[in-house]
Amino acid sequence: MDQMGNIVKQRRKTKAITEKSIRDEAMGTRKMAKEERIRLMEENNLKKQQEKLQRAALKAEAEEMKKIQKEQQKWEKGKFAVKSIVAEIDIKVVELGSVGGNLLTRFAERGITYRITSNPIERSIVWTMTVPEHISQVASSL
């Protein structure tokens, strides 16, 4: 009988240990599941942040392209033409002719920039227009 009591006690102990280990395993899987959820949430947050940054970069790029196109349209319409044109007047035009003084005052009145240089052709006026590099590249690619 004594042995029977010991066997029953042992069974109760093993049953309690088994139940405890089952509970611990369940808690462990819960912990793992919780850690897994936290990790997935962090990954999703990181992915959302990357997508947000990518959208912002695309938006900035689109704004820049729109700005460049608007500036190019202004160049094509000639709004910046007067600002970019430079008249290179030969020295002899200013020194010898009766036109020199009047010409310089008219250029100054109209806001046309001019430079007095010695041109390869005597008594000549050479007109040059400088276009920004990014505008000329866009125009040449079309």
Task: Encode pLDDT of 95-131 as tens digits.
Answer: 876 777 888 888 889 888 899 898 888 888 898 887 7
Amino acid at 136: S
The whole-chain average pLDDT of the chain stands at 79
- % helix, strand, coil for the chain, step of 5: 75, 10, 15
Amino acid at 89: I
Helix, strand, or coil (residue 4): helix
Among residues 130, 134, 115, 135, the alpha carbon closest in space to that of 81 is found at 130
CA 114 – CA 126 distance, rounded (Å) = 10
Q: What is the pLDDT of residue 61?
A: 94
Q: Which sequence spans correspond to the domains of the chain? A: 1-77, 80-142
Task: Encode pLDDT of 17-43 as tens digits.
Answer: 666 666 666 566 666 678 888 888 999
